[in-house]
Amino acid sequence: MKLHRNLVFATIDSLHLIFNEKKQADKVLKDTLKRDKRWGSRDRSFIAETTYDIVRWKRLYAEIAEVKEPFDRPNLFRLFTVWAILNGIRLPDWPQFEGTPTRRIKGRFDELSKTRKIRESIPDWLDELGESELGKKWDTELHALNALADVVLRVNTLKATVQDVQNALSDAEIETETIKGYPSALKLKERANVFTTQAFKDGWFEVQDASSQKVAEMLDPKPGMRVVDACAGAGGKSLHLASLMENKGQVVALDIYDNKLTELKRRARRNGAHNIETRHIDSTKVIKKLIGKADKVLIDAPCSGLGVLRRNPDTKWKLNPDFLKSVQKTQRDILESYSRMVKPGGQLLYATCSILPSENEKQLAYFLNSEAGKEFSLLKEERISPAKSGFDGFYMALLQKQ
């Protein structure tokens, strides 16, 4: 692979914004990729994949390069150099790469890789937490969470069949395959930008990991029901619920952030999902009005996001113990308060994209022992292990109200 100056500089600029200015990686890349209209898909992939790689391996690379945050420009180049050497890429004759200690980099990589928290590039506190919560399993889960995520699509059955989407993408030279056990999922055989395809613009599919597709399926909403998606965000699950309900009945999508609901409405229009009503939670009244009114309630709770590190590697560097504590309190509050929206005989599904029992099983046990939880019993639960499934880490528990 030949390194091109403007692509490497764009990568370095992105890393500066992510590491030093603490900007969100996906937003930074979205802006960076708009910078030059002449960049083709390979150029864009180089910038995005290299940036994500260096974010993912920040600790390992920084220790190999012996550099500390905040990273000045020469140090960002040192991180890039480590990435290039470890990926077997020949360095061009640029001043930034003069005197690169190739053998030392490889030697330090071998030496430092003996220590898990450096090899897997994770902060000390998070490594200790993972081990204390998951024991021996942490080793394999952590390793799996550093792999590159597949691109998985969910076919919008309101508009197309799996075969329709496969054919349309194949015409655009994007090959896909079905995934056993996931009826609406298609996996890309090779990474590609699917957002520019006509099928996407026409709302035939959404990009949604296979594990995430299990959530709405486990809730199993029926046409005609009233289903509340209590933490709807930009609506990944709301759209899936609407399609499982064949546009009949009502999906009430709630969130505390109105801008996310605005995005949800835009996506719903593209998807032809007409039975979604958004409501911004701007006071407790919004929940009160829905008490005892829902056949099914989905709580796709805010969480650490530890199950989706492959997709959002910068979460490793953004998470901190205080945030974790506060999000766990939010999870308990939400379960207690939002469970009241379920009507007698209805169902509640609690889900997170975390693999930590303290956000999952333990929250559920706490809820079931609380006053609000006494009316509920556990029907089934599922933990999706990134190591075993190859997809995102998720937890979901389905509860029945008496």
Ligand X SMILES: C[S@@+](CC[C@H](N)C(=O)[O-])C[C@H]1O[C@@H](n2cnc3c(N)ncnc32)[C@H](O)[C@@H]1O
Just list the catalytic residues: 353
Give the residue, chosen from 60, 273, 281, 399, that forms a contact with ligand X under the rule CB under 6 A.
281
Strands 205-207 and 152-155: antiparallel
Tell me the closest approach of the beta carbon of residue 383 to ligand X, in angstroms: 16
Q: Does 334 bind ligand X (CB under 6 A)?
A: yes
Residue among 61 and 394 whose Cβ is closer to ligand X: 394
Residue among 28 and 234 whose Cβ is closer to ligand X: 234
Residue among 168 and 231 whose Cβ is closer to ligand X: 231
Q: Does 393 bind ligand X (CB under 6 A)?
A: no
349 - beta bridge partners? Answer: 298, 398
- Cβ partners under 8 Å of residue 377, min gap 6: 368, 399, 400, 402
Left if phi > 0, otherwise alpha if psi is -120 to 50, otherwise beta: which for 165? Answer: alpha
CA dist., res. 203 & res. 160, Å (int): 9
- Cβ partners under 8 Å of residue 113, min gap 6: 60, 119
DSSP 98: T
Q: Does 359 bind ligand X (CB under 6 A)?
A: no
Tell me the closest approach of the beta carbon of residue 259 to ligand X, in angstroms: 10
Q: Which amino acid is at 34?
A: K
Give the residue, chosen from 10, 145, 169, 234, that forms a contact with ligand X under the rule CB under 6 A.
234
Q: Does 330 bind ligand X (CB under 6 A)?
A: yes
Left if phi > 0, otherwise alpha if psi is -120 to 50, otherwise beta: which for 203? Answer: left
Backbone torsions φ then ψ of 149, nearest 5 degrees: -75, 145
Q: Tokens 């559920």 map to which residue?
A: 364
CA dist., res. 192 & res. 141, Å (int): 26
Q: Tokens 């690169």 map to which residue?
A: 100
Packing angle between helix 73-86 and helix 5-15, nearest 10 degrees? Answer: 120
Give the residue, chosen from 130, 221, 233, 307, that forms a contact with ligand X under the rule CB under 6 A.
233
Residue among 230 and 297 whose Cβ is closer to ligand X: 230
Tell me the closest approach of the beta carbon of residue 268 to ligand X, in angstroms: 12
Q: Which stretch binds ligand X (CB under 6 A): 79-87, 146-154, 177-185, 225-233?
A: 225-233
Q: Does 302 bind ligand X (CB under 6 A)?
A: yes
**C-alpha distances out from residue 166 to 173, 187, 194, 200, 337, Å:** 10, 10, 12, 12, 42
| CB contact at 8 A, 244 and 221 | yes
300 among the known binding-site residues? yes
Q: Total number of residues binding ligand X (CB under 6 A)?
A: 18
Tell me the closest approach of the beta carbon of residue 105 to ligand X, in angstroms: 38
392 among the known binding-site residues? no
| CB contact at 8 A, 56 and 119 | no
Tell me the closest approach of the beta carbon of residue 302 to ligand X, in angstroms: 4
Tell me the closest approach of the beta carbon of residue 78 to ligand X, in angstroms: 36
Q: How far is CA 389 from the centre of its chain?
A: 15
- Cβ partners under 8 Å of residue 190, min gap 6: 174, 175
Q: Does 231 bind ligand X (CB under 6 A)?
A: yes
Give the residue, chosen from 94, 125, 257, 323, that forms a contact with ligand X under the rule CB under 6 A.
257
Residue among 219 and 232 whose Cβ is closer to ligand X: 232
DSSP 223: T
Residue among 32 and 312 whose Cβ is closer to ligand X: 312
Tell me the per-residue interface mask from 123 to 162 with ligand X, x by CB under 6 A, - otherwise.
----------------------------------------
Q: Does 255 bind ligand X (CB under 6 A)?
A: yes
Tell me the closest approach of the beta carbon of residue 230 to ligand X, in angstroms: 6
Q: How far is CA 208 from the centre of its chain?
A: 9
Give the residue, chosen from 237, 310, 316, 401, that forms a contact with ligand X under the rule CB under 6 A.
237
- Buried b vs exposed e over 136-157: b needs ≥16 C-beta within 10 Å? eebeebbebbbeebbbbbbbbb
Q: Does 260 bind ligand X (CB under 6 A)?
A: yes
Residue 120 CB neighbours (<10 A): 22
CA dist., res. 100 & res. 119, Å (int): 22
Q: Which stretch binds ligand X (CB under 6 A): 49-57, 111-119, 156-164, 256-264?
A: 256-264
Residue among 120 and 314 whose Cβ is closer to ligand X: 314
Q: Does 270 bind ligand X (CB under 6 A)?
A: no
Residues contributing to the site for ligand X (CB under 6 A): 230-237, 254-257, 260, 281, 300, 302, 330, 334
Q: Which residues are annotated as a binding site?
A: 255, 282, 300
Q: Which residues are annotated as a binding site for S-adenosyl-L-methionine?
A: 255, 282, 300
